[in-house]
Structure 1
Amino acid sequence: MAPFLTRRRAAAAVVTAALLVPLAACGKDDDNKKNDPATAKSSTGAPAAKLTVLAAASLTDVFKTAGAAYEKEHPGTKVTFSFAGSQELAAQVKQGAPADALVTADTKTMDGLKADTGAATVIAKNRLVIATGKGNPKKVGALKDLADTKLKVVLAAPEVPVGRYSKKVLDAQKITVKPVSQEPNVRAVLTKVELGEADAGLVYKTDAAGATGKVDAVEIPDAQNAVAQYPAATLKSSKNADAAAAFVQWLSSPEAQKILQDAGFQKP
């Protein structure tokens, strides 16, 4: 009798083990799904993902700070930025560059991409200043001084947002400037001034502030200035639509707005 019972118990153990194997596999699958960045969610409920954001060159410094803050708040999410002039970013979008969101330095560029983006939201504003060499050796004091032919002035190209804003303010004051070069983005303008290759250039206030100690900034009165607007939008080609939307929405949050305003950007 004992051998028979032993055989029955052994058979039952085999059946039980066979039933437990798929259950264990299911448990592992569930654990894998939880750890998979493609299906995981952050503590805030936003889906975790690897995001690529195309952003205007003037956002380079502040977005590095904002990106780090966003990743900390959204564990499992990695945000990679690609910075360039807004016109370059627009070309990348039209060429189908793989990305999830776009932030430009003007509404005109964003409006030209309506077929490729979701609804845009302005997240910040900016203004122009005159960047000069450290200590302002040429004693530049106002926009009219840029018309001096003895002064080496550098501007952004007219197809670049900061270039358009520059042309707008100069034309409004009937000031003719013959730049020694026209650059592809605001950072290139700033670099020319920093290196002493130009005596002055028109840049965003935030860019000059980020180069304190390397350049001086001459304020332009509001009545003579232009307001730059920064719209943000998701890209329809994004493979991480929900995560991209969460990031764009976050840019208008109190935390993101504080980071932007601490860097010198104005409220939307």
Structure 2
Amino acid sequence: MTVRRVRAALAGMLVVALGATGCGGPAEPVGPDGAGPVTVFAAASLTEPFTRLGEDYAAAHPGRTVRFNFGGSSGLAAQIIQGAPADVFAAASPATMKTVTDAGEAAGPSTVLVRNQLVVAVPRGNPARITGLADLARPGVTVALCAEQVPCGAAARTALDAAGVRLTPATLEQDVRGALAKLRLGEVDAALVYRTDVRAATGLAAVEFGESARAVNDYPIVVLRTAGNPAGARAFVDFVRSDAGLAVLTAAGFQPPAGR
């Protein structure tokens, strides 16, 4: 099978997947002013605020809609490089964004939208009495981490190395949602995830630790070169980067980028 056919097949599969999750559906016309749908691939940790911002954007721009594909940044980047149809990409780390820009898939330079920081997520009441990273290595304590190839896993490795903590995780997940799911199910005592994810969850608490300052992740965003609705994509990026958009993101626990 040729590369072109592989890309076409992958793109078709993604369109079906988006439709099955309520983000797709029949093709809608795209106007030169950005009217019509905008497809946004975004890091899983952006799910709650981006969903809200998508609704606000549509309400402020009649005739425009936003479709989201949330997931691990590395997986989303791979889909984009393989030809999946998307207008905007919001990643959870500059390194992940770089794989997309280096592949020539960006319409221009990316900009940092927000920043995020790690915490130790524990069940409310903290039954394992975890107070910092060192406690994660105690005998009998089970921990969920993100895999190191995804941004939350790379940040976790940086923080653990800074603290001099060595541990063997009970599970390695492809995004923060997977790590939190293991914690909610009671399969682990703790999970290293973003502060924003704990704030959005119920029944969980966050244990802050100093080494997280060594592993702050910038979240870059970019309009993609092959965007089917470039005008709408640029308008959505401008919207989420506006003061109103930043207010929604910081209310969810994200930190403003440098200079804001």
After TM superposition, list the pairs within 5 Å mapping 1:165-180 onto structure 2: 165-180=155-170
Does 1:206 pair with 2:187?
no
Q: CA deviation at 1:245?
A: 1.2
Q: Give identity over the alignment, percent.
A: 41
Q: CA deviation at 1:134?
A: 2.1
Q: Secondary structure at the match of 1:112?
A: helix
Q: CA deviation at 1:243?
A: 1.3
Following the alignment from structure 2 to structure 1, what is the Cα–Cα distance between the partners of residues 206 and 245?
26
Which residue number in structure 2 is paired with residue 39 of structure 1?
A: 31
Following the alignment from structure 1 to structure 2, what is the Cα–Cα distance between the partners of residues 191 and 218?
18
Q: Secondary structure at the match of 2:241?
A: coil
1:221 to 210, 220, 235: 210
1:125-169: CA deviation from partner (whole Å, max 9, x where unpaired): 110000012210000001111111310111000101000000000
Q: Which amino acid aligns with 2:127?
A: P
2:224 to 235, 238, 252: 235
Which residue number in structure 2 is paired with residue 128 of structure 1?
A: 118
**Conserved in 1, the CA contact under 8 Å of 2:159 and 2:212?**
no
Does 1:257 pair with 2:249?
no
Question: Which has the larger displacement, 128-137 or 220-229?
Answer: 220-229
Which residue number in structure 2 is paired with residue 75 of structure 1?
A: 62
Following the alignment from structure 1 to structure 2, what is the Cα–Cα distance between the partners of residues 88 and 237?
18
Following the alignment from structure 1 to structure 2, what is the Cα–Cα distance between the partners of residues 175 and 226?
15
Q: CA deviation at 1:178?
A: 0.5
Question: Which has the larger displacement, 110-119 or 98-107?
Answer: 110-119
1:37-75: CA deviation from partner (whole Å, max 9, x where unpaired): 53374xxxxx21211100000011111111101111111
Q: Considering only CA atoms, is the larger Rg found in Structure 1 or Structure 2? A: 1
1:100 to 67, 70, 87: 87
TM-score, length of structure 2 as denominator length: 0.84
Which residue number in structure 2 is paired with residue 161 of structure 1?
A: 151
TM-score, length of structure 1 as denominator length: 0.82
Following the alignment from structure 1 to structure 2, what is the Cα–Cα distance between the partners of residues 176 and 49?
50
**Conserved in 2, the CA contact under 8 Å of 1:126 and 1:266?**
yes
Q: Which amino acid aligns with 1:144?
A: A
Do the aligned partners of residues 136 and 223 (structure 1) sit closer, same or farther apart at CA in structure 2, a change above 3 Å counting?
A: closer
**Stretches of structure 1 lacking an aligned partner (at least 5 in a row):** 1-35, 42-46
Following the alignment from structure 2 to structure 1, what is the Cα–Cα distance between the partners of residues 212 and 68?
34
**Conserved in 2, the CA contact under 8 Å of 1:128 and 1:225?**
no
Q: Which amino acid aligns with 1:70?
A: Y
Following the alignment from structure 1 to structure 2, what is the Cα–Cα distance between the partners of residues 149 and 244?
49
The number of equivalent residue pairs is 227
Does 1:117 pair with 2:94?
no
Do the aligned partners of residues 106 and 148 (structure 1) sit closer, same or farther apart at CA in structure 2, a change above 3 Å counting?
A: same
Do the aligned partners of residues 85 and 196 (structure 1) sit closer, same or farther apart at CA in structure 2, a change above 3 Å counting?
A: same
Following the alignment from structure 1 to structure 2, what is the Cα–Cα distance between the partners of residues 226 and 233?
22
Following the alignment from structure 1 to structure 2, what is the Cα–Cα distance between the partners of residues 133 and 83?
25
Do the aligned partners of residues 95 and 197 (structure 1) sit closer, same or farther apart at CA in structure 2, a change above 3 Å counting?
A: same
